[in-house]
Amino acid sequence: MADLDLLLERTSRTFALSIPLLPEPTRREVTIAYLLFRIADTFEDCFSWPRDRRIEALERFCALLRLTDGATAAAPGAEGQGAAESWVIEARQLASRWAVEMPVSHDGYRELLEETPQVLQEYASLRAEARGLIGRHTVRTATGMARYVAGTGDDGRLQLQTLQDLRDYCYVVAGIVGEMLTELFLLGRPTLRSIGPYLRERSRAFGEGLQLVNILKDSATDIREGRAYIPAAVQRAEVFDLARLDLEAASEYTLALQSSGAETGLVAFNALPVRLAWATLDRVERGGPGAKISRAEVWEIVAELQQALQSQRPAVSPPVGHPTG
């Protein structure tokens, strides 16, 4: 896990804090899933790269995932060995090309692109059920991202028009992640089976809420870089209200895990981003775009969560009307 953990630290802030809290084998599965989604996100976010090149990269990435799956599922023997060699060679060629040609300023993202073959090898080694979930949902997101890239102007600018457009975008880049994580949490945990429908009902909102907080926080920078996620015709207050509703659903999701006896690490993984999102949303509402909580405040929230879990108090503040007992 050492190399994967290093890639995680260099490409994430919140997830680098929360993923290590997870129990195995979910921790390794979610680490690999995050890195795969981050690769796709890097292609989508590279607005200074020509639109057609970004679409091609997303499509080739999806094809590479399918090729990896096909080779992994192949029976042992010469044919299976040949398929495995084929995807490894193609992954190395594409990774070298992407790392050189893409104008990526973030060193961690560039390193991740270079290490795409290693991430795929780790992905190929996962248990079949987890690999199937991760691969299917990653392709869904990457395919959706390609559609949004195709809808940008010749200058690469993206302008969403309605609140529903915003929600549809959030589903592609974050709601699908919530759905995938939920299935990974339920995998091999029969004690959580009874709350499966409850979690699934809230998984999309969970992802949407976290994404909306980021969009509100980064809106000024996004507009300067050609990404207008918040439609001009939509009041920011509407987006704040929607984010609050989503975070309430995320809180309910987390409390359901806790009350059903999920492992402490699984509860903590979900509780930490929810607590951080609530604090960030409040800060952005008071301070405007660009406002954020400090590193010291982040560690204070981490410590408060640890204390709550140790004393068996709710991992997050229960939404109004939610039973605490």
308, two tokens: 């709550």
Q: What is the DSSP string of 9-74?
A: HHH-SHHHHHGGGSPTTHHHHHHHHHHHHHHHHHHHH-TTS-HHHHHHHHHHHHHHHHHHHHHHHS
CA–CA–CA angle 191, 273, 236 (5° rounding): 125
195 and 206 belong to one structural domain = yes
pLDDT tier for residue 322 given thresholds of 50, 70 and 90: very low
Inter-residue contact 203 to 274 (CB < 8 Å): no
**pTM assigned to the model:** 0.92
Average pLDDT over residues 133-138: 96
178 and 65 belong to one structural domain = no
Domain that holds residue 295: 157-325
56 and 164 belong to one structural domain = no
38 and 127 belong to one structural domain = yes
Residue where one domain finishes, among candidates 140, 155, 170: 155
151 and 171 belong to one structural domain = no
Average pLDDT over residues 249-267: 97
85, pLDDT greater than 80:
no
Residue where one domain finishes, among candidates 103, 129, 155: 155
Q: What is the pLDDT of residue 78?
A: 46
52 and 185 belong to one structural domain = no
Q: pLDDT tens digits, residue range 86-127?
A: 778 888 999 999 988 888 888 999 999 999 999 999 999 999
User: Which amino acid, one-letter code, is at 211?
Assistant: Q
CATH of the domain at 273: 1.10.600.10
Q: pLDDT tens digits, residue range 49-78?
A: 889 999 999 999 999 999 888 777 654 554
Give me the percent of the chain exceeding a pLDDT of 70.
Answer: 93
69 and 188 belong to one structural domain = no
Q: What is the DSSP string of 64-118?
A: HHHHHHHHHHSPSSHHHHHHHHHHHHHHHHHHHHHHHHS----HHHHHHHHTHHH
pLDDT tier for residue 48 given thresholds of 50, 70 and 90: confident
pLDDT tier for residue 82 given thresholds of 50, 70 and 90: low
2 and 149 belong to one structural domain = yes
User: Please, what is the average pLDDT of the chain?
Assistant: 90
321, pLDDT greater than 50:
no
Cα distance between residue 88 and residue 11, in whole Å = 23
pLDDT tier for residue 81 given thresholds of 50, 70 and 90: low
164, pLDDT greater than 50:
yes
9, pLDDT greater than 70:
yes
Cα distance between residue 228 and residue 137, in whole Å = 25
229 and 293 belong to one structural domain = yes
Q: pLDDT tens digits, residue range 266-310?
A: 999 999 999 999 999 999 999 999 999 999 999 999 999 999 999
